[in-house]
Amino acid sequence: MAQTEFRVLSPTAILGYGFPRESFERGMEKRPDLIGVDAGSTDPGPYYLGAGKSFTSRSAVKRDLEFILAAAVERSVPCIIGTAGGCGAREHVEWTESIIREIAGQKGYTFPMAVIHADVSKETVLEAMERQRVRPLPPAPEITVEDVRHCVRIVAQMGAEPVLRALDTDCRVILCGRCYDPIPFAAPAVRAGFDPGLAVHMGKVLECAASAATPGSGCDCVMGTLYRDGFELESLNPQRRFTRVSTAAHTLYEKSDPYHLPGPGGTLDLEATRFEALDGGRVRVSGTRFVPADPYTVKLEGVKRTGYRSICIAGIRDPILVGRIDTVLEAVKEEVRKDLDFTGPLLFHQYGKNGVMGAMEPEKDRGSHELGLVMEVIAPDQEQANAVCSYLRSTLLHFGYPGRISTAGNLALLYSPSDIACGEVYEFSLYHLMEVDDPESLFPICVREVKP
């Protein structure tokens, strides 16, 4: 007899963000078929992929995993972790695996675990380029051979197919490298015969946990129940509720087209999607379709190192300087470049004057009585970045301008020491789609025994 419903527990928006124990236990009382959790994002920027580090702390990830692994092992509930370690490269997957093994050793757990890597070699990308099988995701530019060669790390965003193959191993835990966010929640339901459009749409909401509830939170648990003709969402914290508006709004999250959401292997078609309010703060969603794509494409994410950064944070309260700030900052940059023969980036971020949106700020003429200023220097090495930042700060600190009365200094420096060395700087150099003949070919699976 075919399974009529599939229950998925999403404990948190990002592994390491945390969740209330009470919410998690309420979810376990509903006997979920799966615990799915997204562990990564490109939102924190390119640094973490380039540096091979997680943007979540090890202790926080371990705390979340202790609850999740206890449920997976002691209560026999499968668990799938997507985009391990924040970015899903080999270093991030191995970091997460080390935490899992540490918990297993402390708790005496033994279980098989499938690990799916998502790293892509430069040679693979270059070969695809020669075959004209790589294209940019706007606003990314056209890719060049040098872009690829300068990449520190490249990952591809896997679709459902590698996870479906890993599910055939009957492993209790599946640890994925870079993964399309809804897939850890959707793949097992697709394997069980449920509609892929509804499964992926439910995964799209569950990957952010209670962010789609009201009040929203990425640090609380949600239960999604998939049926043959729709799915329902339920907060596991009585203080939160799903509404039609909150669920529909989250469906639009991170989208450039309100009706079509592309992903590996196809697109979610939302033109006929319906959102219905149910009692108990629940919402039912129906009508979403999955439209397969031909050719099959995966998203590439690659970063290159562009230098080293130093910053200084200061406040400005002098109304005369505030009124002349753009002219003064340009003069300071010109003086520093001339004195040091420096051609690298010298940046001033003015908070209180277009500091958030920059050139896109629509309220360009609105004034402020004070400004927060972040001075930034990027140089080929940290020592030079430190030296130029120091010179930039001291030049602005004592820079003369018309109407200036006080000679004590122009800046209220937030910290002592005032200059902060930030280390390596990376930028995304690959944000492109690559055509593949086999959606599993880039994502090798290894089954490993985890034991004390």
Helix/strand/coil (H, E, C) string of the chain? CCCCEEEEEECCCCCCCCCCHHHHHHHHHCCCCEEEEECCCCCCCCHHHHHCCCCCCHHHHHHHHHHHHHHHHHCCCCEEEECHHHCCCHHHHHHHHHHHHHHHHHHCCCEEEEEECCECCHHHHHHHHHCCCEEECCCCCCCCHHHHHCEEEEEECECHHHHHHHHCCCCCEEEECCECCCHHHHHHHHHCCCCHHHHHHHHHHHCCHHHHCECCCCCCCEEEEEECCCEEEEECCCCCECCHHHHHHHHCCCCCCCCEEEECCEEEECCCCEEEEECCCEEEEECCEEEECCCEEEEEEEEEEEEEEEEEEEEECCHHHHHCHHHHHHHHHHHHHHHHCCCCCEEEEEECCCCCCHHHCCCCCCCCCCEEEEEEEEECCHHHHHHHHHHHHHHHHCCCCCCCCCCCCCCEECCCCCEEEEEEEEEEEEEEEEEECCCCCCCCEEEEEECC
| Domain assignment of residue 335, yes or no | yes
Residues 322 and 285 in one domain: no
Residue 337 structure tokens: 């470049």
Cα 381–Cα 41–Cα 451 angle in degrees, nearest 5:
100
- Rounded Cα distance between 30 and 195, Å, is 22
Residues 289 and 309 in one domain: no
Report the domain count for the chain: 2
Confidence (pLDDT) at 315: 97
Residues 26 and 90 in one domain: yes
- Rounded Cα distance between 26 and 49, Å, is 35
- Rounded Cα distance between 140 and 321, Å, is 37
Closest C-alpha to 270, from 295, 246, 291, 299? 291
Residues 205 and 268 in one domain: yes
Confidence (pLDDT) at 1: 67
Confidence (pLDDT) at 343: 96
Residues 164 and 286 in one domain: yes
Q: What is the CATH number of the domain that holds 329?
A: 3.30.70
Residues 289 and 372 in one domain: no
Q: Which of 258, 293, 328 finishes a domain? A: 293
Closest C-alpha to 348, from 359, 366, 333? 333
Residues 47 and 90 in one domain: yes
| Domain assignment of residue 348, yes or no | yes
Confidence (pLDDT) at 213: 97
Residues 99 and 213 in one domain: yes
Residues 261 and 374 in one domain: no
In the predicted model, residues of the chain with pLDDT beneath 70 are 1
Instruction: For residue 363, count CB atoms less than 10 angstroms from its CB and return exposed for 0-12, middle for 13-18, buried for 19 or more.
Output: exposed
Confidence (pLDDT) at 385: 98
Give per-residue burial for 8-23: e unless 16+ CB within 10 Å, then b.
Answer: bbbbbbbbbbbbbeeb
- Rounded Cα distance between 373 and 254, Å, is 30
| Domain assignment of residue 289, yes or no | yes
Q: Which of 272, 293, 314 finishes a domain? A: 293
Instruction: For residue 426, count CB atoms less than 10 angstroms from its CB and return exposed for 0-12, middle for 13-18, buried for 19 or more.
Output: buried
- Rounded Cα distance between 286 and 240, Å, is 22
| Domain assignment of residue 398, yes or no | yes
Residues 222 and 166 in one domain: yes
| Domain assignment of residue 249, yes or no | yes
| Domain assignment of residue 445, yes or no | no
Domain that holds residue 377: 305-429
Length of the chain, please?
A: 452
Confidence (pLDDT) at 360: 83
User: Are 303 and 208 contacting, i.e. CB atoms less than 8 angstroms apart?
Assistant: no
- Rounded Cα distance between 371 and 387, Å, is 24
Closest C-alpha to 176, from 88, 64, 99? 88
Residues 192 and 101 in one domain: yes
- Rounded Cα distance between 234 and 211, Å, is 12
| Domain assignment of residue 451, yes or no | no
- Rounded Cα distance between 395 and 13, Å, is 44
Confidence (pLDDT) at 363: 82
**Segment 139-157, tens digit of pLDDT:** 889 999 999 999 999 999 9
Residues 180 and 280 in one domain: yes
| Domain assignment of residue 128, yes or no | no
